[in-house]
Chains A and B, each alone.
Chain A
Amino acid sequence: MTTFDEEMMRRALREAADDFAISDGAVESILDEARETANSNQSPRIRAFIQRNGTVRSTVLAVAACVVLLAVAVPLLNSEGTPNKKSPVQFAAIPKVDTNSAPALGLVTGTGNLGLSGQVTAVGTSSPVTFTDRKTLKNASASSLDGSLRVEEVGSIQLTVGGTYFQSTLTKLTDFATTDGGFVASTQSHIGNKSTHSFSTGTIVLQVPERLFTMLVNQVRHAGRATSINTSATDVTGQYVDLQARIDALQVSRTQYLKIMSRTNSIGGILSVQNQLNSIQSQIEQLQAQLNLLNSETTYATLTVTVSETGHQVVGPPHPGNGVDKAWHDSLHGFAAGVEWLIRIAGPLLFALLLLAVLLLLGRWSWRATERRRGGVG
């Protein structure tokens, strides 16, 4: 707008606004109201809030910072702890194995020259966790069911033994099961031949009374070099009780139908009741079979042991010993770890950023509202 326009605007606005008279009584009425307000003293609370405004704002910011910090820290901590939580009854504890029997799933850290001494230390996830968890499950269930606990336990162990000990290990495993009051459910073995460079492998399924399962696992893991141990315990008490209740109910129905049948004289009535009886009987037998199976599974725990001759186990790609290859491998590993870390924190970070944005918007809104109020009042 040109100067002329601005002047025109000023003149027009003055002409529009200055031509009417201001009533004299307005000032006095405002003063009267101000005196009344001063006497009623209604403002301290609002004034105190405004005076506290800086403190309130700082407190809100501090709370927001804490929330953001928690939002970032908690998911990160959870993600760090996830591997131990994922498999409640899984572990692989290997005290020492030689190079040829290095576990495929364990983390292997070299403590010497792999090619010469052949000694490495394999570190797996800690085993006590699994036993603790299983015992906890049993204890918790037992406390709630007063001794009627039904737990189905299964496990698997991979053993590596020297070639000369292969057969004796299988025999030893059989003895473990039979001595404990159990039995061998199945065996499968393959005897290797050095001339054809094949290795001996075998799988044996042991079943022992459920209460002796832990002891059997301990015995078996020391029968050779255990490369992995997996156990799981499932509380099937609810399922067991449910089956039992349904069978009882059907048996009661069957008894009633039998009574009805004894009182029925007509052929049609007898046939009708007989049909119902047949149906009920069929259901009872099905449920009874399931119950028996469940009973068997909970009475006996199953442990599958895979025995392999030393050298048979598939070992991961050899880790470069030193030099450029090792550096390149470490570099790739570091890069992959960095990418994994970025992906891992992306979720919590995004959440935190969103939260921060919301908090900033809220803070800005409240700040502007406060400012407006302050502007409205001063």
Chain B
Amino acid sequence: MSDAVDVDELRTWLEDGYASSVRTAYLILGNRPDAEDAVQESFLRAWKFRDSLATGSSFKPWLYRVVVNTCNSKLRKEIPHRNRRRPDDDLDDVAMTEDPIGRVTLSHDVISALKDLPAHLRVVVVLRYYADVSEHDIAIVIGRQPGTVKSRLNEARRRLALHPALQSEAPSSLNARKEKRS
């Protein structure tokens, strides 16, 4: 396969998955510049090592795996060791600067709670509820067993339900949850 053909293949990948990957990375990392850096790096690496995609394997989880691992790498190595980017790039502020009517408040609270989650829980929540990846595919993405994905999702849901922002936002659902537990 020539390089020209391969680059055309990369173009197809980008057209199909670049936007959704950037938005996913944005939710994981918390700001747009880092998300764009991570996704660009991910696509280049994925294209460079496209031979490692086993025949018959699903492309989407594989690509998400590249993206998630790049995001994790940034979360571990880069972001903690540098000054934060412009404040208006952060999830909180993006949500707040958008539509001033009611939906922004909900979005803001959920995003605020999401930011307080540990990275490994945030990843599964974003993949499950934003990227709409099945639990089985999430297991492939993060390189863990499906049971681990389930437990992480449960833990994430538990923490989100107990988060003060969400408790004040949706008391009815939380009350129903408490009643169900008791």
Task: Name A residues whose Cβ lies closer than 8 Å to a Cβ of B.
Answer: 1-2, 4-6, 8-20, 22-23, 26-27, 29-31, 33-35, 37-39, 43, 46-47, 50-51, 368, 371-372, 374-378
Contact = CB atoms under 8 A, between A and B. Distances in A.
B129 A6 contact: yes
Interface of B is mostly: helix
12 contacts: A1-B157, A9-B160, A11-B103, A16-B107, A22-B22, A34-B6, A46-B49, A47-B49, A50-B52, A375-B143, A378-B49, A378-B62
Contacts of A375: 65-66, 68-69, 143
Given A16-B95, A30-B14, A35 B3 contact: yes
Contact of A378 (B27, B66, B91, B95): B66
A9 B170 CA distance: 12
Interface of B: 3, 6-7, 10-11, 14-15, 18-19, 22-24, 26-27, 32, 36, 40, 42-53, 62, 65-66, 68-70, 73, 91, 94-95, 98, 103-104, 106-107, 109-111, 114, 125-126, 129-130, 143, 157, 160-161, 170, 173, 176-177
A5 B170 contact: yes
Contacts of B52: 47, 50-51, 374, 377-378
Nearest to A46: B49
Contact of B27 (A17, A50, A372): A17
B107 A31 contact: no
Nearest to B111: A16
Given A17-B26, A20-B32, A12 B44 contact: no
Most buried by A among B48, B114, B170: B48
Nearest to A6: B129
Contacts of A33: 40, 44
Contact of B40 (A10, A15, A29, A43): A29
A16 to B, nearest CB: 5
B134 to A, nearest CB: 14
